């Protein structure tokens, strides 16, 4: 079985070029590929198109990439927690494609499944549907949406093995499994890296066939986006 382990984030991300399209797993700050993002910041890669549910917060995750002007375009479903994202959007500095969250998830899933287009009722009759083909099915109108794919998919899992099989933990699963299928090169960082055979096959969420590189991350902050205390 192919060993897909690379030493660290630097080795995993060493060939990501300027102008690449990236998918970045996570939801808010939950399950984001922290180490890979730090490496992109360190390398100063620019003119990126980033596909992610949102851009987190100003001082962590993709928010730091926005601060350094590394992102040319964001394809997301939510912008509410990031003031810099909002500022760049309103000023026209950042190209943004806002997509209903379910549509974003399905476009990514379609990209991984090799389905170039599908129809959904979400957004019909709104700004989301402007310029898109629509069609009636069983008396209801639907919009045609196209797949999303990326040059590199950066995902984060709880546990993985040397063949690239991944298990996510709790809500950190979110967008990671579908993004892992939709990248030409999928880079997985894991909290725990184990030999092949140690993961229960019944518990694997992402089969290793989708993963090209895997490494064990370190120094995870796992920030909480909004902490409420009593």
Question: DSSP for 203-224?
Answer: G-SB-GGG-SEEEE--------
With 0.85 as the threshold, say if the pTM is over it. yes
pLDDT for 168: 98
In whole angstroms, what is the distance from residue 80 CA to residue 63 CA?
A: 12
Q: Going residue by residue through the chain (230 aa), what tens digit of pLDDT does each one get?
A: 799 999 999 999 999 999 999 999 999 899 999 999 999 999 999 999 999 999 888 889 999 999 999 999 999 998 777 888 889 988 999 999 999 999 999 999 999 999 999 999 999 999 999 999 999 999 999 999 999 999 999 999 999 999 999 999 999 999 999 999 999 999 999 999 999 999 999 999 999 999 999 999 999 998 888 788 88
Q: In order of start, what are the domains of the chain with their CATH numbers?
A: 9-115+148-216 (3.40.1080.10)
Of 74, 76, 73, 132, which Cα lies nearest the Cα of 104? 76
């Amino acid at each position: 079985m192919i060993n897909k382990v690379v030493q660290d984030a630097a080795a995993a991300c060493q060939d990501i070029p300027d102008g690449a399209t990236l998918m970045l797993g996570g939801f808010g700050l939950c399950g984001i590929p922290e180490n890979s993002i730090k490496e992109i910041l360190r390398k100063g890669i620019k003119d990126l198109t980033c596909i992610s549910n949102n851009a987190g917060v100003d001082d962590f995750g993709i928010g730091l990439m926005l601060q350094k002007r590394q992102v040319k375009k964001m394809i997301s479903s939510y912008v509410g927690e990031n003031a810099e994202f909002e500022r760049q959007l309103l000023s026209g500095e950042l190209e943004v494609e806002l997509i209903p969250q379910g549509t974003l998830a399905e476009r990514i899933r379609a990209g991984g499944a090799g389905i170039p287009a599908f129809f959904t009722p979400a957004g019909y009759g709104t700004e989301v549907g402007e310029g898109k083909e629509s069609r009636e099915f069983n008396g209801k109108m639907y919009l045609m949406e196209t797949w999303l794919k990326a040059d590199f998919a950066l995902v984060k899992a709880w546990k993985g093995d040397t063949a690239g099989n991944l298990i996510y933990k709790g809500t950190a699963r979110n967008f990671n499994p579908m993004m892992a299928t939709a990248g030409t090169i999928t880079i997985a960082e894991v909290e725990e890296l184990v030999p092949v055979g140690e993961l229960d096959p019944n518990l694997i969420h992402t089969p290793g066939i989708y993963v090209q590189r895997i490494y064990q991350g370190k120094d995870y902050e796992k920030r909480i986006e909004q902490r409420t205390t009593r």
